[in-house]
Amino acid sequence: MHYFTISDLAHEFDVSTRTIRYYEERGLLSPIRTESGQRLYTKKERAKLKLILRGKRFGFSLDEIHEMIALFDEDRTGKKQLEKTVEYGRRKLKEVDERIEDLLQLKAEMEALLSDFEKRLCEWEESGG
Amino acid sequence: MHYFTISDLAHEFDVSTRTIRYYEERGLLSPIRTESGQRLYTKKERAKLKLILRGKRFGFSLDEIHEMIALFDEDRTGKKQLEKTVEYGRRKLKEVDERIEDLLQLKAEMEALLSDFEKRLCEWEESGG
DNA sequence: ATTTTAATTGACGTTGACGTAAAAGTCAAC
DNA sequence: GTTGACTTTTACGTCAACGTCAATTAAAAT
């Protein structure tokens, strides 16, 4: 299996190494270490970082993202655990759905604004321009 | 015409008056004043606040939102101004589109995760449960 | 072998987005 | 006409999410 160094990930996702270490401080990432103490990231850790950054783009706090990532990490042996996980997942999914709805609304508003401006621009060109 | 007080808006949108004043400090809102200095908000200002809060929900910074709001405020006399506004609007709209795309991706990933968990839950119930 | 580049921890600094407290003025109600 | 709710400005506080040294160690390149 192949591992990523911290700067591999930093370059790939265009974040600082400090940021990646900070996410570890906050318990969002847990890379393994070489004998000398350097961090090595598996594909799974990489996937987690990807999810963190995606979450951030939508204004989720690191605490919220932490909860989401728990879906990756928890050992979901046991039925109870699994049920809890699924229920939490459904809730979060609903939140995401609401955000999409909200964004579509924003888009519609902006489009209305834009088409109004464009109309005015046309009028301008027809009459005086 | 009817005006809103600062606490009207604070209650309606569930933000603090401090927050509303802060948005004014940052140039995002510009209420008129009574003779004694109290703030009064028009429907337009209210709409701007709504837009600010919507923007915030998607992780836009106040600076970014400020630029968006300029679409409301700028005096768009003159063709040049109008053209610039429309062009900027198109760019921002594209960004919003990308965010929607991104969110749909997140949704898909979460759904995949969830259905995997649900499958496991079913297996659990069939076999041992 | 040694220079260059990259990694580590630790600690302090910064920025954005407000919260909070204080002092003073204003408005509606009683 | 005074109580009480609300408003104003000024100013300092706070918390998250990093940035930025600094000192040290390890790895890669020449």
> In this predicted structure, what is the pLDDT of residue A76?
58
d(CA A57, CA A54): 5
In this prediction, residues A12-17 reach a mean pLDDT of 93
The full set of domain ranges for chain B reads 1-58, 74-129
Interchain proximity A59–B54, CB inside 8 Å? no
Instruction: Inform me whether the pLDDT recorded for B129 exceeds 60.
Output: no
Pick the residue with more confidence: B105 or B81?
B105
Residues A28-64 pLDDT 10s: 999 999 988 999 999 999 989 998 888 887 677 888 8
C1' of D21 to CA of A61 (Å)? 27
CA distance A19 to chain B (A): 18
> In this predicted structure, what is the pLDDT of residue B105?
83
CA distance A107 to chain B (A): 7
Residues B11-54 pLDDT 10s: 999 999 999 999 999 999 999 999 999 999 999 999 999 989 98
The yes/no answer to whether this complex scores an ipTM above 0.90 is no
> In this predicted structure, what is the pLDDT of residue A23?
94
d(CA A79, CA A76): 8
Interchain proximity B54–A110, CB inside 8 Å? no
User: What Å distances lie between residue A29 and A85, A88, A90, A101, CA to CA?
Assistant: 19, 20, 23, 30
> In this predicted structure, what is the pLDDT of residue A10?
94
The distance in angstroms from the start CA to the end CA of chain A is 66
Instruction: Inform me whether the pLDDT recorded for A114 exceeds 90.
Output: no
Domain A1-60 sits in CATH at 1.10.1660.10
Domain B1-58 sits in CATH at 1.10.1660.10
Q: Tell me if A34 sits within 8 A of A40, measured CB to CB.
A: yes
The structure tokens 């610039």 sit at B84
